[in-house]
Structure 1
Amino acid sequence: MPLRPIDAIFVHPKRRLYVVYYRGELWQLPRMKIDDRSWQNRQPYTDDSRSLYLSIHQAINDPILAQKLRTLNLPIAVRGSTLPRFEAWWEAHGFEWLKDKLTMGESPLAAHQIKAIDNDVTSPSNDQPVLSNQNSTMGHKNNSEKKLLPDSKTDIFADMLADLADEVLHQQL
């Protein structure tokens, strides 16, 4: 079964520009800024794709562009990977990683990660363990989990997450 297309942000370190992997196609942005205006002025990327590295920052701050590009909060282990290595990881592990995130009730969307950080700056990230007693850890974890889940009334990305969850969790194998 084909895996859903992914959107990801890559960096060309020598030319100092962003290249967006948009549903399997590479698009070069005209400057080192990711916003809707840059996206409107994009050009097809035709250079060597082996010189591209997955950006460590996948979240898009521009709300208009964030609705178009559904970038994911990818695992730390794949951040900084070359494009061929990233594609191999996505093909081999992407579906399971996505399914695990959605099954645990976490949003894999990078836009939700930024929102959670903005809402609770002191909240621990998913990647760092909390060293504390068990009771306070559990209470803090429940609060941070609630903030990671989208509020359908106020979250513009709730529909995107619902579509993604429906597509991944309810696929016929």
Structure 2
Amino acid sequence: MYNLKNKTMKNFMTIALLLVMVNTYAQQVDSIKTTKVETVTDTVNGEITSKKIKTITLKEQAVKTDPADKGKLNADRIFPPTKVKKTVMVDYDADPFYDEKTTLKYFELNNDNYVFRKSNDGFIMNVLNKDEEVLKANARQTKSGPYYVVNSNEFDGIGFFNKEKKFVLEFYNQKTDKLETIEFAEK
């Protein structure tokens, strides 16, 4: 009888601990993942070709409460910016594998929305203008480390991703005759 009670209590405590851990972990980030698959048909050199395009969009937002309500049972929720990551895959043939994969990350600088699109030697920095992307800069990864050489009409410099996942760009501003630093915040 004693062993049964002791074992039951041990099982109860284990289950309660697991529920608390799962509940705590589950409330860290709200995330929505959507997948869209479409087939696009086009005519190339007189031949009808089709390709399958799969777009996976992941939107994440941290779950936070108002610091002024710290310690309250029903604290007000605050809504930090939503982070968006989009992966686009293209299949040009009839096999079950996708032939191309592109990952897009969204950033913000001075109220402008940027799309960072992976390229062979780094990434491309585009500005979102309504539903259209306009090329702003190329960022090529250096061979000596996690740094990028950035070239554009507005700024040429060196950039890197910091611990907060912001892209920090240092460049020489000819108008002000000074070195400047700007940060692209992940959106």
Give TM-score, length-normalised by structure 2: 0.24
Instruction: Give the structure with higher Rg (CA).
Output: 2
Higher relative CO (Cα under 8 Å, sequence separation at least 6) belongs to 1
> Which is richer in strand?
2
What is the TM-score when the length of structure 1 is the normalising length?
0.25
Higher helix share: 1
